[in-house]
C-alpha cells in the first residue's frame, strides 16, 4: 500500500512545478531511494500501465526504475497495441524481463495473439519466465537466444544487474561488462522452422538493430512483416559500424515507410509500416 501511494505521488509530481522545486533541493531523490528500497525489500513490484495491472519480480533499484519507465513509453506501446489484429504473431525481440510482452498479452487477452519472446541473457531470461508465471501467462514461450544476421555461438557482453537492459553483442559496449556464450539465429531461419512468421515486431537490442533486420531479409522482401516498432540506439549502433540513417534506408529499400518517431533520451522510437 505504501509503495503504491509513493508511486502515485511520484507520477503526479513528474514534470510539475512542485516536482521541479522538490528535485532542486534533493527531496525527490530521497523519496526515490525510499520507494526503491521498499519495493526491493518486498521482492515484487505491482504497477498499472494503460489500465493493465502487472506484477514483476524485483531484485534491484534498476529493475524498479525500468518497470516504472514503461509509463513514459505509453505512446510507443499504444501504437503497438493499435497495430495488432486477432490471430497476429508478435515478436518481442529483446524482451528483457517481459514488460512489453506481459502488457500486450494482458491487453490483447482473448484476441488469439501469438507472442514470441526472445531474450538471450540467461539471468534476464530466467526472470522473464518468473514474471510470465507471476502474471498467469504460462503459455508464452521464452526463446533464450539472440536473433541476428548469422547463426551459431557468439559472445554476449552483459552487466551484472538483472533487468538493466544494457547487454550487447558488441565488445566494449559498456565498461565492466562480462562475456557469456549464447546461441544466435537468423529471424528468417526461426520463422521458417517454427512456421510462425511475424506480423508485428518490437525490436530493442542495444545497437544490433540492423544485424537483426538483415536476418529477416527474406521475411521483409516477401512483405510478411506488416509493422516494425524499434528502439534505435545511435551510439551503440556505432559499435556495429551502423547508423540510424542506414537503418532507415534499409527499411525504405524493402518498401517500409517510417510513420512515426519519438526521441527518448539518447535513443528514439520509430514505427515502420509495409508500404506494399
pLDDT in tens, 41-57: 888 999 999 999 999 99
Give the per-residue pLDDT at 165.
53
In the chain, the percentage of residues whose pLDDT exceeds 70 is 82
Domains and CATH numbers, the chain: 2-67 (no CATH), 71-274 (3.40.50.150)
- In DSSP notation, the chain reads -HHHHHHHHHHHHTTSHHHHHHHHTTHHHHHHHHHHHHHHHHSEEEEEETTEEEEEE--SHHHHHHHHGGGGGHHHHHHHHHH--TT-EEEEET-TTSHHHHHHHHHTTTS--EEEEE--SHHHHHHHHHHHHHTT-TTPEEE-SEEESS-EEEEEEE-SSTT----BSSTTSSTT-EEEEEEEEEHHHHHHHHT---SEEEE--TT-HHHHHHTTHHHHHTT---EEEEEE-HHHHGGGT--HHHHHHHHHHTTEEEEEEEEETTEEEEEEEE--
Give the per-residue pLDDT at 62.
84
- Of residues 28 and 47, more confidence is placed in 47
- Of residues 32 and 195, more confidence is placed in 195
- Tens of pLDDT, residues 195-226: 999 999 999 999 999 999 999 999 999 999 99
Q: Stretch 66-88: mean pLDDT, rounded?
A: 93
pTM of the model: 0.86
Amino acid at each position: 500500500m505504501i509503495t503504491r501511494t509513493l508511486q502515485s505521488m511520484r507520477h503526479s509530481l513528474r514534470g510539475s512545478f512542485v516536482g521541479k522545486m522538490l528535485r532542486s533541493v534533493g527531496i525527490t531523490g530521497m523519496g526515490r531511494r525510499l520507494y526503491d528500497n521498499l519495493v526491493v525489500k518486498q521482492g515484487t513490484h505491482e504497477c498499472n500501465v494503460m489500465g493493465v495491472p502487472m506484477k514483476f519480480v524485483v531484485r534491484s533499484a534498476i529493475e524498479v526504475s525500468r518497470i516504472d519507465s514503461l509509463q513514459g513509453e505509453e505512446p510507443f506501446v499504444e501504437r503497438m497495441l493499435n497495430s495488432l489484429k486477432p490471430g497476429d504473431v508478435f515478436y518481442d525481440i529483446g524482451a528483457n524481463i517481459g514488460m512489453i510482452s506481459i502488457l500486450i498479452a494482458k491487453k490483447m487477452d482473448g484476441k488469439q495473439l501469438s507472442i514470441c519472446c526472445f531474450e538471450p541473457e540467461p539471468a534476464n531470461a530466467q526472470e522473464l519466465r518468473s514474471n510470465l508465471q507471476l502474471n498467469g501467462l504460462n503459455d508464452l514461450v521464452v526463446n533464450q537466444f539472440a536473433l541476428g544476421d548469422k547463426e551459431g555461438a557468439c559472445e554476449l557482453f552483459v552487466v551484472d544487474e538483472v533487468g538493466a537492459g544494457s547487454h550487447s553483442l558488441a565488445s566494449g559496449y559498456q565498461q565492466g561488462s562480462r562475456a557469456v556464450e549464447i546461441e544466435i539465429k537468423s529471424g528468417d531461419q526461426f520463422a521458417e522452422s517454427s512456421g510462425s512468421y511475424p506480423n508485428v515486431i518490437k525490436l530493442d537490442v542495444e545497437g544490433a538493430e540492423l544485424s537483426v533486420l538483415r536476418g529477416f531479409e527474406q521475411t521483409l522482401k516477401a512483405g510478411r512483416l506488416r509493422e516494425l516498432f524499434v528502439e534505435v540506439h545511435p551510439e551503440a549502433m556505432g559499435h556495429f559500424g551502423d547508423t540510424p540513417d542506414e537503418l532507415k534506408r534499409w527499411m525504405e529499400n524493402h518498401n517500409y515507410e517510417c510513420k512515426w518517431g519519438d526521441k527518448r533520451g539518447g535513443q528514439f522510437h520509430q514505427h515502420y509500416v509495409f508500404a506494399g
